[in-house]
Amino acid sequence: MSDEDLKRSREYGDSFRKYLIAATTGGIGILFATAGSFADNNVDPRWIVWPVSFFVFTLLLIGVALLMGEHRSLLRKADPNAQAKLPRWKMGITWNLVPLFTFVVGVIASVVALIHVDFEPKCVTFEYSFSECTVSIPEVAERDAGTASCKRPNSRRQ
């Protein structure tokens, strides 16, 4: 591989890692924004834990890829033929494909988690007659806790 080919390969790898970093951080931001908007509908935001974990792991692997690239550059500086002597798993393409794979897994985990989000309202409304005007709300809540019913404003999921 000539010096020009090696330089072009490193530029492609750098631009690929920049794109992957932008897409991964964007995925994290979209997940948090979506979870925040679902919080208005009383949806528990814990559904984003696994997808965000995959995206954070992807960022960690991109950091490892950058360190491996620096290591390969230092080896090439000392020995121009060092790239050919490296094991296959230390090659640059491997450390670009592994973060890409975890990014794709993170996207799939995000879609699966979003599909399984429970949009059922987590509300409790107590029905009582207005003739009990002297009874306070906490007393009614304690008394009717076993027979509470939740009214759904949107009955799309039945």
pLDDT tens for 126-138 read 555 555 444 445 5
Report the predicted TM-score, pTM, of the whole model to 2 decimal places: 0.65
42: left (phi over 0), alpha (psi -120 to 50) or beta: left
- pLDDT grade for 66, boundaries at 50, 70 and 90: confident
CA triplet 93, 99, 103: central angle to 5 degrees? 135
Report how far residue 107's alpha carbon sits from residue 84's, in angstroms, rounded to the nearest whole number. Answer: 34
Q: The tokens 């500086």 sit on which residue?
A: 77
Q: Which residues of 58-87 are buried (b: 16+ CB within 10 A; e: fewer)?
A: bbebbeebeebbeebeebbeeeeeebeeee
137 φ/ψ angles, rounded to the nearest 5 degrees: -60, -45
- The pLDDT assigned to 147 comes to 53
Return the structure tokens found at 103: 């990014």
> Among 3-17, 29-43, 70-84, 125-139, which stretch is predicted with the lowest mean pLDDT?
125-139
The per-residue pLDDT of the chain, averaged, comes to 76
- Spell out the alpha helix ranges (H) of 40-131: 49-78, 82-85, 94-115
